[in-house]
């Protein structure tokens, strides 16, 4: 096993628990602005999360349930693009106003990686503007080596393309990377890319099949805050707070 040289982070659900109270809320606000009465419930949005990408979810909704007013087939793509642009702006506002805090341990883990001289990357299918709101504002003190977001790849998770691109751009081998994911699609993508996988589940993904992850915890944990519970794996010294040196030791054996 090679020495760990980098950590990759998914964004939504890993860095910030954005799905339920961020993206879903922004989608519903957008639908209302565009004259639709559609409102995605917490339960229904969980179903939609099995479809990767916001624009793809709207198209899936249109084709399976249909919006509250008919949309001609030839106009769907343009309308979805327009609504997604507005949804992203609303989502960014939610982040910038501090309504969506970082998940426990994320900021600490990133700092530990920087202090250890590791490369730090974000690999997300979230819109580029949304990713920048997180990496450049909420996490402005963290120096990221690369941020891959949105439509930078042709195939979204569970396809490994975004992780393969990050490996190529940073000249890394798969076993030199620890990735933090939260969902089945993310784990499938990371596994296909051959990465070492830490799963930090959340309310939406705790019941998903993420067993391909090497280590599964409820969160990374903070010494003075919320502690994590380990669902899979055996990390020496784990006491509710997962540290980078523990992971580097675990994956370098």
Q: Name every residue whose Cβ is closer than 8 Å to that of residue 75 and which is 6 or more positions away in sequence.
A: none
Tokens of 20: 């339920």
Question: CB burial class (10 A; 0-12, 13-18, 19+) of residue 111?
Answer: middle
Active-site residue (options: 10, 38, 182, 222): 10
State the Cα–Cα distance between residues 234 and 241, nearest whole angstrom.
Answer: 13
Give yes or no: 212 in active site.
no
Pair 145, 177: CB distance under 8 Å? no
Give yes or no: 10 in active site.
yes
Active-site residue (options: 12, 38, 159, 222): 12
> 């020495």: which residue's tokens?
3
State the Cα–Cα distance between residues 41 and 39, nearest whole angstrom.
Answer: 6
Q: Name every residue whose Cβ is closer than 8 Å to that of residue 252 and which is 6 or more positions away in sequence.
A: 1, 2, 3, 4
Catalytic (active-site) positions: 10, 12
């Amino acid at each position: 096993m090679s020495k760990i040289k980098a950590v990759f982070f998914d964004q939504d659900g890993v860095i910030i628990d954005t799905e339920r109270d961020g993206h879903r809320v922004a989608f519903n606000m957008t639908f209302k602005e565009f004259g639709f009465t559609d409102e995605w419930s917490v339960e229904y949005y969980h179903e939609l999360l099995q479809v990767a990408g916001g624009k793809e979810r709207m198209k899936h909704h249109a084709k399976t349930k249909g919006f509250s007013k008919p949309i001609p087939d030839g106009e769907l793509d343009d309308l979805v693009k327009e609504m997604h642009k507005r949804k992203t702006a609303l989502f960014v506002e939610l982040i910038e106003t501090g309504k969506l805090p970082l998940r426990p341990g994320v900021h600490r883990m990133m700092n530990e990686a920087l202090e250890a001289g590791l490369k730090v990357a974000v690999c997300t299918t979230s819109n580029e503007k949304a990713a920048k709101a997180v990496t450049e504002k909420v996490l402005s003190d963290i120096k990221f080596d690369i941020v891959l977001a949105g439509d930078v790849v042709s195939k979204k998770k569970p396809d490994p393309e975004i992780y393969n691109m990050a490996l190529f751009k940073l000249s890394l081998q798969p076993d030199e990377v620890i990735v933090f994911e939260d969902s089945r699609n993310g784990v499938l993508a990371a596994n296909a890319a051959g990465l070492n996988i830490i799963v930090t589940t959340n309310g939406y993904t705790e019941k998903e099949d993420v067993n391909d992850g090497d280590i599964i915890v409820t969160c990374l944990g903070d010494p003075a805050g919320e502690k994590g519970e380990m669902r899979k794996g055996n990390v020496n010294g784990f006491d509710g707070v997962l540290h980078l040196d523990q992971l580097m030791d675990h994956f370098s054996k």
